[in-house]
Amino acid sequence: MEETHSRKTGDQMLVRRLNTAVILDCLRLYAPLSRADISSRTGLNRSTVSSIIGDLIQSKLARETEFQKDKLGRPGLSLELSPQGACAIGVQVGVDFISVMLVDFVAQPIWRKRIAINPAIKQAVFVKRTGDLIQEALNHARKFHSRPLGIGIGLPGLVNLEQGELVFAPNLKWAHVPLRQQLADRFKVPVFIENDANASALGEYYFGCARQVKDFIFLTADVGLGAGIVLGGKLFRGKGGYAGEVGHMSFDPNGELCGCGRRGCWESLVSPRNVVRNIQAALATRADGALLDLVKGNRDKITFDIVLQAANSNDPLALNALQNVAQWLGIGIANLINAFNPELVVLGGALARASHVLTPIIESTVKENALRQPQETLKITVSAFGSEGCVVGAAAIVLDEILRYPFP
């Protein structure tokens, strides 16, 4: 009898946790909502909703807001997630930078920091500096009296979610790095790792421009190029979890050698790093122009943002380089549209920063190269978080895990 009672109690606790997750997710997607609205959307009876909402308010994960009238004109309190209820840490590991952000329970930034990193430093040093930045974020969480739920990390490469391992990152030249375990051992909080484009896509889906959009593609470029693909409201991972490496689709088998070891990858045609390299090569025989003026004649100091600055000043070399990138992006995006028929394509990373130059050409190229029918419901837009989509998305992964599997 004792065992039966214990099992029954355990089952009831599990059901309550699952119902709590359903309500939290409902608030995340549709708030502000009344208790009746929550009951209607979730299918849970009103007494269950009221009981769970009471617990969430007590734990400061939800809060009541201004009065609203129901369909009969009677006043009632709205409910939404409470920003102060908890916090999460998002990390983006780039080839030459580390970005860390502390966000509240609705993914609004509380604190952020980004540092440049020498790509040549040893992997252990890179990981230690990442940990040091995370520690700064945790210190700020304590200042705000907010409980940290965990750490999410967006990585530029193939990620094994089950093992918590960065399997292969050609641009970092890393392979088989057990990053989740390394950081979990140091901080004793849950650590989640994810491909950077996937993290960005999840951030847009839960808190950004793709909320309630079931089929979309997030395309991001920094050093490399990747895509987070959401189909039917679920992140598409593929059999091994490595889907979305669109930057390594081959566009020219005789083209430039890519960091992955193959030739003519889409990434080699459109990545910011290659734009800079091509411009530096073109300037080898020139002694003037806006680009050289901006770096005082030192070609080695040219960055993608310098190229953007020159393009904004109508420098012909910079404009031509970005227009060429936009055309190749448009061709690749047209192929993705034909393959997946998304409702939305979101541009992130460096593509977001350059969107004012790139987007008109991308749209015209897509119009010429994609099938007409998939274009009829398509929209191309820029990340709600600009070039910070990955770091926000990494934090959103933590919030998503907690919202789906809330603590007892």
Whether residues 226 and 359 fall in one domain: yes
Same-domain check for residues 282 and 195: no
Place of tokens 């421009």: 209
Count: domains in the chain:
3
224, containing H or E segment: none
Single-letter amino acid code for the residue at 344: L
For residue 157, give Cα distances in angstroms to 123, 173, 234, 259: 15, 10, 20, 11
Do both 12 and 154 map to the same domain? no
Which tokens belong to 294? 């901006």
Identify whether residues 377 and 228 lie together within a single domain: yes
Environment class of 373 (CB within 10 Å of its CB; exposed 0-12, middle 13-18, buried 19+) = exposed
Residue 189 has a pLDDT of: 92
Q: What is the pLDDT of residue 76?
A: 67
Co-location of 272 and 379 in the same domain:
yes
Predicted confidence pLDDT, tens digits, the chain (408 residues): 455 545 555 578 889 989 999 999 899 888 999 999 999 999 999 999 999 999 999 999 999 987 655 556 666 689 999 998 899 999 999 988 999 999 999 889 999 999 999 988 999 999 999 999 999 999 999 888 788 999 999 999 999 999 999 999 988 889 999 999 999 999 999 999 999 999 999 999 988 999 889 999 999 998 889 999 999 999 999 998 899 999 999 999 999 888 888 999 999 999 998 899 989 998 888 767 788 889 988 889 999 999 999 999 999 999 999 999 999 999 999 999 999 999 999 999 999 999 999 999 999 999 999 999 999 999 999 999 998 999 999 999 998 887 776 655
CB burial readout 289-312, b (16+ within 10 A) else e: ebbbebeeeebeebebebbbebbe
Q: Work out the number of other CB atoms within 10 angstroms of the CB of residue 212.
A: 8
Longest dimension (CA), the chain: 89
Name the residue range of residue 22's domain: 2-81
Q: Does the model's pTM come out above 0.85? A: yes
Find out whether 193 and 164 touch, Cβ atoms under 8 Å: yes
Whichever domain contains 32, its CATH number is 1.10.10.10
Which of 51, 81, 111 lies at the terminal end of a domain, its last residue? Answer: 81
| Phi, psi (deg, nearest 5) at residue 86 | -170, 175
Contact (Cβ atoms closer than 8 angstroms) between residue 138 and residue 89: yes
One domain, residues 118 and 72? no
Residues 281 and 222 in one domain: yes
CATH number at residue 273: 3.30.420.40
250 and 270 in a common domain? yes
Give 36's DSSP letter.
Answer: H
- Site of tokens 């530096």: 280
Q: Is 90 exposed, middle or buried (0-12, 13-18, 19+ CB in 10 A)?
A: buried
Sheet arrangement for strand 344-349? 234-235, 225-231, 216-221, 344-349, 379-382
Cβ neighbors of 115 (< 8 A, separation 6 or more) are 97, 98, 129, 133
Taking the C-alpha atoms of residue 82 and residue 151, their distance in angstroms, rounded to an integer, is: 19
Q: Are residues 218 and 365 in the same domain?
A: yes
Do 358 and 248 have their domain in common? Answer: yes
- What pLDDT does 5 receive? 47
Would you say 23 and 38 are in contact if contact means Cβ atoms under 8 Å apart? yes
| Same domain (yes/no): 95, 50 | no
One-letter amino acid identity for 195? Answer: N
CA 331 to chain centre: 23
The three-state (H, E, C) secondary structure of 309-369, written as one string: HHHHCCCHHHHHHHHHHHHHHHHHHHHHHHHHCCCEEEEEEHHHHCHHHHHHHHHHHHHHH
Measured CA to CA, the distance from residue 315 to residue 313 in angstroms comes to: 6
74 and 95, same domain (yes or no): no
